[in-house]
Structures are given as structure tokens and as C-alpha cells.
Amino acid sequence: MLEKLEEVEKRYGELEEKLADPGVISNRGEFTKLSREHKSLAAVVASYRSWRKIASEESDLAGLLDDGDPEMRAMASAELPELRRKKAEAEEELRVLLLPKDPNDDRSVIVEIRAGTGGEEAGLFAADLFRMYTRYAELRGWRMEILDAHPTGVGGYKEIICSIDAEGAYSRLKFEGGVHRVQRVPQTEAQGRIHTSAVTVAVLPEADEVDVAIDEKDLRIDVFRSSGPGGQSVNTTDSAVRVTHIPSGLVVSCQDEKSQHKNKAKALKILRARLLERAEEEQRSAQAASRRSMVGTGDRSERIRTYNFPQNRVTDHRINLTTHALERILEGELDAVIDPLVTYAQAEALKAAG
């Protein structure tokens, strides 16, 4: 581990020199790539330097155990246990930091929420989940923007897509990808029977122009008039935009803004994220992790989490976690679920690393 840490620190120093080079600074693509690598190594280097300082202090104190002065020996004996505890904690932290890192962890995200099984009730729960992620972003000081929305007319959403602009957002929200199941009595249920509905959530790392270059020649742009639920006209101009990426066949529509230019920019943002995800999916095609398995079909049986309103219960089925704090979680206190998922993923990675 020490050899690897020394290599990381050496590479960190090389990156600092390169990032100060005017030639690199003027090359946007190269500068962005090296900046990301530099940022990804910063925590490891800081932790390694802290560990090295503790190890040096421990060595100095251990040397005092053979000192001729009884007071010095007593002082060393008293302080060594605490220092060794700190050293062990620092070593554990370094093991976690040295685990293979998801290259997208530092990115912002695009979150796509779609109503699945359950009709109007699924649309209402899609709105609840959107509000939950909105509150979570607010609590963490992250900036959220709606990219596209298709309301149902009764306060729900058939689909809503938003971006969350914050460094490290993907490292937290990637665990939200999958089918979320809700069990509750709908407002329209006269008999008081509990219904089960499902909503799919997809979390995509946001891509910029450096990551995914899109040639305008590969795009077909169609414009049309925005419409609201039930065919209600939102706008009297052709401001909605449909972008078709001809080589991949991907189609993205945006009508949330009244400006055609803004809708096109938002559509391209979603398109870049989907193209980046598709490229990464092809690279890991030998693995089971793919967008299809993450998103599923919206069927009730394909679930990662259940929100049971009568029992005020949230259950994450991946790690068998149950908490009776449904209201707080829907108010954005998602760390109660995300932190155990992060810890579990790290423990599994440490186990695999031996």
C-alpha cells in the first residue's frame, strides 16, 4: 500500500506542474482532463500526508520508551495508545480511498423520473420523488434545474427530467437508480384500500462538450408548439424542440422553456448524458450493470425501494435496510438511506480487494 501511495503522491506533484504549464492551460480538453485527475487524487494525498505525520510521531514516541528519564517513558506510554488508534483509523481511511473509484463520482447528474405501474397514483408519486430530490439538493446546497416535464393535470408527472449541478452529486445519487414502489391509499380511493404503484428513476452522470462531441450534421432538429396536460396550449409559438441524434437514434424533446434556444440547449444536455452513458455501457457490456437493468420497466416486481405510508416505513431491498422515517426521507433527509448504501458498497469493494 505504501508503494502505491508514494506513486499517487508523485503523480499528484506531476499534475500540479502540468496544470501550471501555459501550454496545458490553453488546451481546454487537456486541462479539464488533468484537473479532474488532480482533484480525484487530492483526498488520497492529503490523507497519506496526515498518516505519515502520525506515523512519524508514533516512531518518535516509541523511541522514548527506552529513554533514561522515567517521566519521558511514562509520557510516551500514556500517549502511544491514542496515537496508534489514530494511525489505524488513518490506514483504514487510506484503504477506502485507494479502492477503484467510479470515474463519474465527481460529476453533476441528470435525474429522470417516470411514472410506471399505477396510473394517476404513479404520477403523483413521481411528483413526490421529484420533491424529495429537490429538498435533498436544497439541504446540500446543490443547484437543481428542470430540463423537461410532462405533468398529468392532477399534480403528478408522467415524466420529469432535471439536472443537479454539484461536484460529487453522482457519487451520492447513483444509488437512486431503479424502481421505487409506493404502498398507500390514494386520495381517489373511496374504500380506503391500499394501492401499490411504481416509479422508475434513472441517474445519469452529466457530460460536457469535452466528454461528448456532437456534430451538428448528425442532428435533426424539429420544432413544435408546447402543450400542457389534456392538450391545453402552453404557448402560442413553436418553442418546443425535438432533437434526433441520427447515428444513435436517440431522441430528446424539451418544452419546459418558452425560448426555443433554451429548450434546444436543455435537450442537448440530456442527449450528451445519454450518449456518455451509452458509450460507458458498451465498455462494460460484459458486466450486468446497464441502464435497462437499472431502470427496468416500471413493473411493481422490479424494485429497489418500497415506501409504505400506512406503516411510515421505507425499505431498501438491496441491503435489507428498513427505517420508520418515511416522512423525513420524503422531506429530503435521504442520507439516512444513502449513507448505509455507500458503506455497504465500500465494504464489498474492500472484501473483493482482499
Encode pLDDT of 54-65 as tens digits.
999 998 888 888
Q: Which long-range contacts (CB under 8 A, 24 or more apart) does 116-119 make?
A: 116/179, 116/197, 116/198, 116/199, 116/200, 116/297, 116/298, 116/299, 117/196, 117/197, 117/198, 117/298, 117/299, 117/300, 118/182, 118/195, 118/196, 118/197, 118/198, 119/197
Lowest-pLDDT choice from 1-5, 141-145, 303-307: 1-5
Average the pLDDT over 190-197 and give the result.
82
Confidence of residue 285 (pLDDT cuts 50, 70, 90): low
Q: Is the pLDDT of residue 26 over 70?
A: yes
Domains of the chain: 2-97 (1.20.58), 109-210+288-353 (3.30.70.1660), 216-283 (3.30.160.20)
Average the pLDDT over 121-150 and give the result.
95
For residue 114, what pLDDT is reported?
Answer: 95
Lowest-pLDDT choice from 66-75, 106-115, 151-160: 66-75
Q: Are 130 and 157 in contact, with CB atoms under 8 Å apart?
A: yes
Confidence of residue 125 (pLDDT cuts 50, 70, 90): very high
For residue 291, what pLDDT is reported?
Answer: 40
For residue 236, what pLDDT is reported?
Answer: 53
Cα 173 to Cα 110: distance, rounded to the nearest angstrom: 10
Q: Is the pLDDT of residue 288 over 50?
A: no
Encode pLDDT of 168-191 as tens digits.
899 999 999 999 999 998 876 667
Q: Is the pLDDT of residue 296 over 50?
A: no
For residue 232, what pLDDT is reported?
Answer: 47
132 CB-contact burial (10 Å; exposed 0-12 / middle 13-18 / buried 19+): buried
For residue 317, what pLDDT is reported?
Answer: 93
Q: Which helix (H) or strand (E) holds 193?
A: none
Cα 254 to Cα 221: distance, rounded to the nearest angstrom: 11
The more confident residue out of 277 and 285 is 277
Q: Is the pLDDT of residue 137 over 80?
A: yes
Confidence of residue 2 (pLDDT cuts 50, 70, 90): confident
CA distances, 95 to each of 37, 274, 347 (Å): 19, 33, 11
Query: Which among 40, 101, 79 has a CA at the least distance from the CA of 346?
Result: 101
